[in-house]
Amino acid sequence: MSAFDKKKLEQAYDAFADERQQSGLAPWKSEERRRALDAFKRAGAAALLEIGAGTGRDSLYFQEHGLAVTAVDLLERMVELCRNKGLTAYRMDFSRMSFADRSFDAVFAMNCLLHVPKAELRETLGEIARVLKPGGLFLSGGIRRPPSA
């Protein structure tokens, strides 16, 4: 993603960071993260990386259920909101992470890969694979639309 595109993304999300902090969780998102937690536990995952963590709501959920969570987000305000929840969080572009190879048992991505340009998706997925331990679990979710009437 070009620096210009990232700047636009940062401005759009930064403008609503506090509002996102106060918003409720959509029922489908609650179900997605419950199923993700079940999958992480079945896989024996202990160290979880959440990319595009936003306000840290999902990271906190996973941490409260026994996982050692590291959250990353592109925005400093989002990282601050994560840290205010007691999370380990870093401002980082998840297409170029500074973590060592094979650092995490699992990676969780909810509604963030949709911001990656198609031309850069292979590189970004390679970066996710790089930080995953062999046999690690990568779960990604996205926007759900209600069925048409």
- Give the separation between CA 52 and CA 92, rounded to whole angstroms: 9
Instruction: Using a cut of 0.85, tell me whether the model's pTM lies above it.
Output: no
Burial of 148 (0-12, 13-18, 19+ CB in 10 A): exposed
Give the per-residue pLDDT at 143. Answer: 60
The 10 Å CB-count burial string (b at 16+, else e) for 88-110 is: ebeebebbebeeeeebbbbbbbb
User: Is the Cβ–Cβ distance between 73 and 89 less than 8 Å?
Assistant: yes
Give the per-residue pLDDT at 111. Answer: 85
End-to-end CA distance of the chain: 36
* pLDDT per position as a tens digit, 114-146: 878 888 899 999 999 999 999 999 999 866 555
Short-list 66, 62, 136, CA closest to 99? 136
* pLDDT per position as a tens digit, 9-54: 555 555 555 555 555 667 778 888 999 999 999 999 999 999 999 9
Burial of 117 (0-12, 13-18, 19+ CB in 10 A): exposed
Task: Map out the domains of the chain as residue ranges.
Answer: 3-141
Is CATH 3.40.50.2000 the right assignment for the domain spanning 3-141? Answer: no
Give the per-residue pLDDT at 8. Answer: 57
